Amino acid sequence: MLVGLAPRREGHHIRAARAFLDGSMTDLSRASGLSFSTVQRLEGGAEAPGPASRYRAVAARRASGILFSLIEGAAIVAGQA
């Protein structure tokens, strides 16, 4: 994982990666070991969980073949490896 990108990934990035895989919040919950309510909060952005939860969600997406890249120093995009 690109360490500089870790804090910049927000709920909508995680949600987009999940949608790209046509997965559910339950799928992400199981893959990451996070509770369903934590995944909901993470993707919703309001009262988002801490960085450890974000890291676990990103790690689960990466294990599913999703890569997060920084484009032109500003935008984060998700794509499949």
Higher pLDDT, 67 or 2: 67
Contact, 56 vs 33, CB < 8 A? Answer: yes
As a CATH number, domain 3-80 is 1.10.260.40
d(CA 15, CA 28): 10
Model confidence over 39-76: pLDDT tens digits? 999 888 766 678 888 889 888 988 888 877 767 665 56
19-32 mean pLDDT: 91
Q: Which pLDDT score is estimated for 37?
A: 94
- In 3-state terms, what secondary structure has residue 78? strand
Secondary structure of residue 65 in the 3-state scheme: coil
Q: Which amino acid is at 45?
A: G
39-49 pLDDT, tens digit per residue, is 999 888 766 67
Q: Distance (Å, rounded) from C-alpha 3 to C-alpha 34?
A: 21
Q: How many CB atoms lie within 10 A of CB 81?
A: 7
| Total Cβ atoms within 10 A of residue 31 | 19
